[in-house]
Structure 1
Amino acid sequence: MLQFIRSKVTSIFVKILFVLLIASFAIWGIGDTIFGSPAGRAAVEVDGDVRVTAVEAAEEFDRSRRRLGIPVTVDQAIQIGLLDQTLQNLTVQSLMVVATNRLGLSASDDQIVQLIHQQFRDSLGQFDRTAYQTFLASNGWTESEFVSRARRDLARNQLLGAVATGSAKTVPDSIVKTLHDYREERRIAAAVRIDAATLPAPDAPDEATLSAYYEENKQDYETPEYRGISWIAVSPQSLAESMEIPEDELRTLFEERRESFNTRGSRTVDQALFPDEAEARTAFERIQAGEDFAAVAEEITGMTAAELDFGEVSRGDLPEGTADAVFAVTEPGTVTEPVESPFGWHLFRIRGAEVSAPATFADVRDELRREIALERAYDEVFERSNALEDALAGGSTLEEAAQSLNIPLNQIPFVARDGSQPAGGIVATLPGEPFLKTAFETETGRQSVLTETRAGTYFILRVDGVEPPRIPELGQIRPRVIADWTTEQRLEQAEDIADAIVSAVSDGTPLSEAAAEHGLEVERLPAITRRGQALPSGWPPAVAGALFEQKAGGASAVSSDQGAAVISLVDVIEGGGDMAAPQDQVRRELAGAVSNDLIELLLADLETRHEVTVNPGAVRQLFTVSEGLQ
């Protein structure tokens, strides 16, 4: 390409063109200086110190727009408030940056490395650089940009964690109990179910009735837009399946990484933390004498059973100086002697133990082969996708490119936006998203650009044809319309029967007698909560709501798309009785609400303390300028 340009520079016409181009760049540069470019303006600024440029805000807005999962233009996204929401989020982030900077909160390099290694692991628990780089590429970030974001987020979490800590202790026990009892109240009902499908079918509708029903509901029969698509896809998974890895190479790699394959020992433990050795020793002696570990720990330290649970840990997860004592024990139920760490004195109760064991080559051979093959397949995917892109750029059709590169050409005549076909069912052989999104954004007869799915598959597609949405004529779907009309008639019958039973009960007829008149029996439902817990399958979900609005002896009718039901309150179990769930969940929810309130107060305080400037016009102008240059 460079040689081609050099050869053409000798042409006087091209020389003139280059002069014009250079002049245009100079004018643009001067224009930015004289008239002001929207790109350099601040979209969000706090105290003049922390600023988000219009370009950065536009990039964040565009990422949010694409994450919607449906095709939305820039103008549409602005109209639905996405730009305002993006700027609001960036304002909150900027305020948090100011607050963390003022308090000197930061994240160390070690914390960043640990975060990245935890988020991007392969099946063997090793750092997966390919996954990491794919994640960066999909978000349009450089590594330094991602690290900067991660450092900012970790510092923010330190601040938010400090604000929210202890919120559970601010929730009064009386409020927890009141809300818990309200939620856990259970009610028992006598009920009659009318299944519409078991009712006699009505006579077939005449033509006038059917036509009227069709006209009233014709929008329900509209077909989706279907598209015919041809595509070429190159996936690392498919390449890896056929890739051969020499046995000696697998053995060499196994020897290099043998230690990482060994089963690491772990312990599942409860931990009680004491301020000094005397209290820890007293607790240990009481436990050795037969008292319960959790009861003793709660009495001395105030830690609840949930707070004592330290979970499954490896040596590296334990506080400094405690690992040897914990891993010296393998018998479940054993409590360690008091052991000191920088945090205080610990007692550990071992609930489970997994002893480390060496791995053999046979144990991990297949996993190693898949890992190496997939790693090499990613390199080959890049090579093949570049070759594909070059072939198409050179004028080849999809068919010609597929043949020359020995890549299968895939075709499907009709597929909807959700992957369904006219005959029913979902197409399972399509590449992952954003394949269908791309297909429905590409014009008929055009090819898409080379696009990568979330799973690392590259594809290029062509839209061969479009069948727009349409409403079929009655004659084309007559059996379906008749079936729908029949179902509606049966549902109305079920509702009429339910209303008749309720009316009879209101007049003093026992529920069992009123139901028997229609050939129905009364069932006794189990105790049900307000949220419908314990409601047997097949009963309308609205039963729970109606039941909790009733007084004893009354009756109510509820409907569903399966029929109708009549319910009558029999008994109320206050607070759920023996079946009540623990109050801990309610306390956690209330504590979470308190935490959210505290965080909102923090943000409100930051807004009053700092000067915040938001300029959505700079972002809108940037998109306007970009569209004007296209």
Structure 2
Amino acid sequence: MLNQLRRGAGNWLAKILMGLLVVSFVIWGVADAFRGMGMSTVATVGGTEVPLTRFQRDYARAMQALSQNVGGPVSPADAAAYGLPQQVLSQIVTETVMNNTVDALGVGVTDEELLRQIQADPNFKGADGKFDPNRMRAILAANDLAEADYVNAIRGLSERRQIMEGLFSGITAPEIMLKALYTYGNEQRTVRYIDVPPQAAGKIAEPTDADLKTYFDAHKAEFSAPEYRSFQVATLDPVTLAASTPVSEEDVKADYERNAAKYGTPERRNVQQIPFPDRTSADVALAKLSAGNPLSDILAERKLSPADIDLGLVAKTGLIDPKVADAAFSAAPNQPIVVDGRFGPVIVIVTEIKPGETKPLAEVEGDIKRQMAEDLARRNLLNIYDQVEDALSGGQSLKEIADKFHLAFVEVGSVSLNGLSPQGDAVNVPGGQPVLAAAFQADSGSDSDAVKLASGGYAWVDLTQTTPARDRTLDEVKADVASAWKAEKTQAALTAKAAEIAEAVRKGQSLDDAAKALDVDVMTTAPFKRSGPVPGLSAGAIAAAFRSAKGSVATAASATGGQSVIVVSDVYDPDFDPTLPDSVTLADQAGQSVGNALLSEYVSSLEASEGIKINQAAVTQVVAPGQGS
């Protein structure tokens, strides 16, 4: 599980900058449970108390997000090993410290600016691209957020950002740091290598009963039977709901007429625009054009070419200046007019008009009906969600509720956490991993929280049976144990053979002669970076190549599961050019990382001056219920 949790840090730059990019503040264990702190308070920061309910809410959300990221439920032990309690509590304490600083410095944000930020959130935009308050309320409700709480959170974030950006934005990383990072990420190696074939391991004798018992006893956990669970799932899906949501022909027609511009192309005009230093010059030029003087004469006087004045075939919205746009789209073709534009007077000439086109209702009716049904379904979905929750609280069974509200209902038989049946077959779980994770977090006989689905819908899980994990006997898995024993012995023999070949090459034998003795080919890679991947080489072989100097010999697991012997034939060190796009991007990332590191130091100093107390007993009550003292 912890390996899954760490996979997101695999990028080379992420590994180098991890300590800088993540602003983490070491506050866990600052103090034990303080006697004067009640169990309703999880921490105090200066004179500010942090309620336990805040930590409970944020920790539950963090656990759910982590479970979704790793594709399965995360146990309290795994979450603790990953440091999730510390991360959540650190974030809460950091916010509180910064909020205290905001209050002390008198930083604020106007209601107008706050409204602008909220309305600019792309998540809250409707089908027309504008802010949709109903969509905002639906999203907040789906995420268990009260509107007032959300507004306060955005206000606090905006105020904290003012301090952080004022102090730390625009910081640049030292050039020596950029050079080191650039070299690490862009140096290249070329290697020649051979894969030691399986037959080089020689004949592996069949294991004795004693061998099997010894191996089984040492690896018993690998052959154990996992926990299996059976459960019921009821799903409320917006797409399914939309299919049964009626939309009248009148409503479709009204939407079409109201949004006709969406269902076609606007009128476009080919526009020419000649700028002038003042209105008098523009009027004189217009008089010349009206008198029949050619346009080329006017352009020659203004030292302009036809390309300089051509704005192309544009829609009205494609013109930056509203006054020019209004004039151009009301002017007759080839009739020049003077416009006092935003940047000075101009002569506008329309040379071509392409009328707009609107698709007939019959052509777009299906799309309109489907979109309207989905919008109605999303609104109805939250109403049904509330009714389902009320029915669950009232004691009705999940099957009864599914029948009453026409929810999809499935009974899932025995399935393990990795989605397999006891026979090893994949089990189709409605809603996928999030629902499976919820089933393995549920307690028998108690209601579980609704699971948010990727489709925007919800699923409810009712656990019906749990088959505990158990150790299998050797007789049950004897064939698997024998196979694993032979695989281990084969790998050990291949590792020894690869080490033997590598040593011979170091002492002067050519890699070609070693390959000939094994009846394999010598492969040569193209130059590659440490970020890989490299066809034919495993990640271990790539890492070994970058640990080795030119001419060095190394061994590593092969891409096919055996062993490779590699010789580093060339090393290429890059020249650092700060003007290249990659260098500029690296400088931006590194500068942000340095700024984050300084921010971390700043907040740490604020924490030290404020004074932080952690109620360890209250924390334990949340992250490991039943284990508190």
**Equivalent in 153, 157, 175 of residue 157 of structure 2:** 153
* Separation (CA, whole Å) in 1 of partners of 2:174 and 2:370: 52
> 1:229, 1:463 within 8 Å by CA — same for their partners in 2?
yes
1:565 aligned counterpart, secondary structure: strand
Deviation, structure 1 residue 592:
2.0
Per the alignment, in what secondary structure is the counterpart of residue 167 of structure 1? Answer: coil
1:556 paired to 2:560: no
Deviations 1:71-130 (A, max 9, x none): 667x99899876655443233223323444425342543543443542233566454556
**Structure 1 residues 223-242: aligned runs within 5 Å:** 223-242=225-244
1:14-93 superposed matches below 5 A: 38=38, 43-46=43-46, 48=47, 52-64=50-62, 67-69=65-67, 70=73, 85-93=87-95
In 1, are the aligned partners of 2:97 and 2:606 still within 8 Å (CA)? yes
Residues in 2 aligned to 1:490 and 1:340: alpha-carbon distance in whole angstroms: 82
**1-side partners of 2:230 and 2:84: how far apart?**
32
Once residues 395 and 94 of structure 1 are traced to their aligned partners in structure 2, the CA distance between those partners, rounded to angstroms, is 40
Task: Give 1:252 deviation, angstroms.
Answer: 0.8
- Give the Å deviation of 1:596: 1.4
What secondary structure is seen at the aligned counterpart in 2 of 1:476?
A: coil
2:598 is aligned with what amino acid?
Answer: L
Q: 1:181·1:574 contact (CA, 8 Å) conserved in 2?
A: yes
C-alpha RMSD of the superposition = 4.6
1:193·1:564 contact (CA, 8 Å) conserved in 2? Answer: yes
SS at 2:191's partner residue? strand
For 1:207 and 1:40, the matched residues in 2 are separated by 59
Task: Note the residue ranges of structure 1 that are not aligned, 5 or more in a row.
Answer: 1-35, 267-287, 291-313, 329-338, 343-354
Question: How many angstroms apart in 2 are the aligned matches of 1:219 and 1:192?
Answer: 35
8 Å Cα contact 2:402/2:409 also seen in 1: yes
| 1:269 corresponding residue in structure 2 | none
Partners of 1:428 and 1:359 in 2: CA distance:
42
Question: Distance between the aligned counterparts of 2:227 and 2:527, measured in 1?
Answer: 47
The verdict on how the C-alpha distance between 1:255 and 1:196 changes in structure 2, with shifts beyond 3 A counting, is farther
**Does the 8 Å contact 2:45/2:97 carry over to 1?**
no
Q: Where do 1:238-257 residues align within 5 Å?
A: 238-257=240-259
CA separation of 1:527 and 1:163: change in aligned 2, threshold 3 A: same
AA matched with 1:575: P
What is the percentage of aligned positions where both structures have the same residue? 21
- Structure 2 Cα separation of the partners of residues 162 and 317 of structure 1: 36
Please tell me whether residue 567 in structure 1 is matched to residue 566 in structure 2: yes
From 187, 190, 203, the counterpart of 2:189: 187
Check the 8 A contact 1:196/1:562 in 2, yes or no: no
Partner of 2:415: 415
Residue matched to 1:514: 514
- Pairwise CA distance, 1:381: 4.1
Assess, with a 3 A threshold, how the Cα gap between structure 1 residues 262 and 514 changes in structure 2: closer, same or farther.
Answer: same
Aligned pairs for 1:139-288 (under 5 A) are: 139-168=143-172, 171-172=174-175, 174-196=176-198, 202-259=204-261
Q: Aligned to 1:104, which of 107, 113, 119?
A: 107
Residue identity opposite 2:98 in structure 1 = M
Cα offset, 1:197, TM superposition: 8.3
Q: What displacement does 1:151 show? A: 1.4
**Which amino acid letter does the alignment assign opposite residue 567 of structure 1?**
I
Partner SS for 1:132 = helix
Q: Which amino acid aligns with 1:165?
A: S
2:191·2:568 contact (CA, 8 Å) conserved in 1? yes
Q: SS of 1:90's equivalent?
A: helix
- CA change 1:320–1:566 in 2 (3 A) is farther
TM-fit CA distance, 1:554: 3.5
- Aligned equivalents of 1:53 and 1:358: distance in 2? 57
Change in 2 beyond 3 A, CA 1:128/1:486: farther
Match of 2:336 in 1: none
Cα distance, 1:619–1:220 mapped onto 2, change above 3 Å: closer
Which runs of structure 2 are paired with 1:420-569 in the superposition (5 Å)? Answer: 420-424=420-424, 426-431=426-431, 434-444=434-444, 446=445, 448-449=447-448, 451-454=450-453, 455-529=455-529, 531-533=530-532, 536-560=534-558, 562-569=561-568
Alpha-carbon distance between aligned partners in 2 of 1:581 and 1:158, rounded to the nearest angstrom: 29
> TM-score, normalising length from structure 2?
0.68
For 1:43 and 1:323, the matched residues in 2 are separated by 61
Against the structure 1 CA distance between its residues 498 and 54, is the aligned structure 2 distance closer, same or farther, given a 3 Å change threshold? closer
Who is 2:136 aligned against?
132
Q: What is the distance in 1 between the residues matched to 2:316 and 2:94?
A: 39
5+ residue gaps, structure 2: 1-35, 68-72, 269-302, 306-314, 330-339, 344-354
| CA distance in structure 1 between the aligned counterparts of 2:210 and 2:267, rounded to whole angstroms | 77
Compute the displacement of 1:430 (Å).
1.4
Q: Structure 1 residue 235: deviation in Å?
A: 2.5
Letter in 1 for 2:485: W
Amino acid at match of 1:256: R
Paired with 1:204 and 1:621, the residues of 2 have a C-alpha distance of 51
CA distance, structure 2, for counterparts of residue 133 and residue 126 of structure 1: 15
- Does residue 1:603 correspond to 2:606, yes or no? no
In structure 2, do the counterparts of structure 1 residues 165 and 487 end up closer, same or farther at CA, with 3 Å as the change threshold? same
2:183–2:576 Cα contact (<8 Å) kept: no
Alignment partner, residue 124 of structure 2: 120
Q: Structure 1 residues 117-126 or 392-401, which shifts more?
A: 392-401
C-alpha distance in 2, partners of 1:614/1:384? 43
How far has the Cα of 1:236 moved from its partner? 2.6
Paired positions, count: 515
Spell out, residue by residue over 1:280-310, the C-alpha distance to the aligned partner (whole angstroms, 9 max, x if none).
xxxxxxxx999xxxxxxxxxxxxxxxxxxxx
Shift, 1:395, TM fit: 6.3
Mapped contact 1:193–1:539 kept (Cα < 8 A): no
1:230 aligned counterpart, secondary structure: strand
What is the one-letter code of the residue matched to 1:258? A
State the SS of the aligned residue for 2:493.
Answer: helix
Please report the TM-score for the alignment, with normalisation by the length of structure 1.
0.68
Q: Secondary structure at the match of 2:91?
A: helix
Structure 1's 197 and 237: CA in aligned 2 closer, same or farther, altered over 3 A? farther
Higher relative contact order (CA 8 A, sep 6+): 2
Task: Quote the offset at 1:156 in angstroms.
Answer: 2.0
Q: Is the 8 A contact 2:189 2:528 kept in 1?
A: yes
Match of 1:293 in 2: none
Cα distance change on mapping 1:122 and 1:199 into 2, 3 Å: farther
SS in 2 for 1:417: coil
Structure 1 distance, partners of 2:611, 2:544, is 50
Aligned equivalent of 2:615: 616
Name the SS of the counterpart of 1:575 in structure 2.
coil
1: distance between equivalents of 2:201 and 2:341? 74
Deviation readout 1:602-625 (Å, 9 max, x if unpaired): 3245446x644545379569979x
